[in-house]
Amino acid sequence: NAGVTQTPKFRVLKTGQSMTLLCAQDMNHEYMYWYRQDPGMGLRLIHYSVGEGTTAKGEVPDGYNVSRLKKQNFLLGLESAAPSQTSVYFCASNRGTSGTNEQFFGPGTRLTVL
């Protein structure tokens, strides 16, 4: 199993450009998440999904949109990128049912907005 994968690994955007980050998981997990991590800080939740076709806002949702059209994929979109969105973006997934509920994280996407 590949676990959680993210595409792309690195990206540089100009202010105002748009892009989509792709997260894929092959563990048949129900729940998926997008976090951002700024230098020297912990992760902050942007959006999450508790199942195919559902999405919900996290702590810092402004400036981002998400879609979960297929269970295995969770897309994060930036419609008009701003320098404040320069960050490392991590995707995660878990079963979402009772029990351990440990989250499995992807390797991250490093985004720079000039």
Closest CA to 72 of 45, 91, 100, 99: 91
The 71-100 contact track toward other proteins, x by CB under 8 A, reads: -----------------x-x-x-x-x-xxx
> Which of positions 10-69 make contact with other proteins (CB under 8 A)?
31, 33, 35, 40-45, 48, 50, 56, 58
Residue that has been written with the tokens 């951002």 in this structure: 36
Nearer to other proteins, 17 or 110 (CB): 110
Residue that has been written with the tokens 């048949």 in this structure: 28
From the CB of 45, what's the least distance to other proteins, in Å? 6
> Cα–Cα distances in Å, from 65 out to 1, 38, 42, 96?
28, 19, 21, 22
- Token digits for 36? 């951002």
SS3 content of the chain, % helix, strand, coil (to 5): 5, 50, 50
Nearer to other proteins, 16 or 107 (CB): 107
From the CB of 99, what's the least distance to other proteins, in Å? 7
Site residues (vs other proteins, CB under 8 A)? 4, 31, 33, 35, 40-45, 48, 50, 56, 58, 88, 90, 92, 94, 96, 98-108
